[in-house]
Amino acid sequence: MASYVESVLNPGERILHSGEVSGWSQIWLSVLGVILLPFFGVGLIPLAIGWINLKTTELAVTERRVIAKFGLIRRETIEIKVERIESLQVNQSVMGRLLGFGTIVFSGAGTPQLTVPSIKDPLAFRKAVVGAQDAAGQAQAAKA
């Protein structure tokens, strides 16, 4: 079965970079789950939530857009064209810096801020977005 990102690609569009949620960002759910496990298996709930967050989040940068999908039963998606992205913030806590995860916030033309939390190696994701923007800008300049 194709992933969400692969299923929404347009003809000729290819993935430049795939991102994923960091397992470290789910550590508090794991710790809580282990602590609560002896209490009638209640700890399975936070463990399941962390696992679902890891496995159902899809992040990708293509030549044309940034795509993010969250959720298992209830799906939330973000798609923004790379040429519409005006600013990109990378937010990392001290723990995020040490363990290599952070949050990316996109601001775009006519678009409110879009937040993608807990990305593994957010600087590589940012670099891929900026590279896609540069390529899109060069393509626009070549058309003119």
Residue 56 scores a pLDDT above 60: yes
CATH of 16-143, one of 2.30.29.30, 3.30.565.10, 2.130.10.10, 3.90.1150.10: 2.30.29.30
- 34-49, pLDDT tens digit by residue? 999 888 888 899 999 9
Question: What predicted TM-score, i.e. pTM, was given to this entire model?
Answer: 0.83
Q: Is residue 121 pLDDT above 90, yes or no?
A: yes
Residue 1 has pLDDT above 80, yes or no: no
Would you list the domain boundaries of the chain? 16-143
Quote the pLDDT of residue 132: 92
Question: CA-to-CA distance for 107 and 55, rounded, in angstroms?
Answer: 26
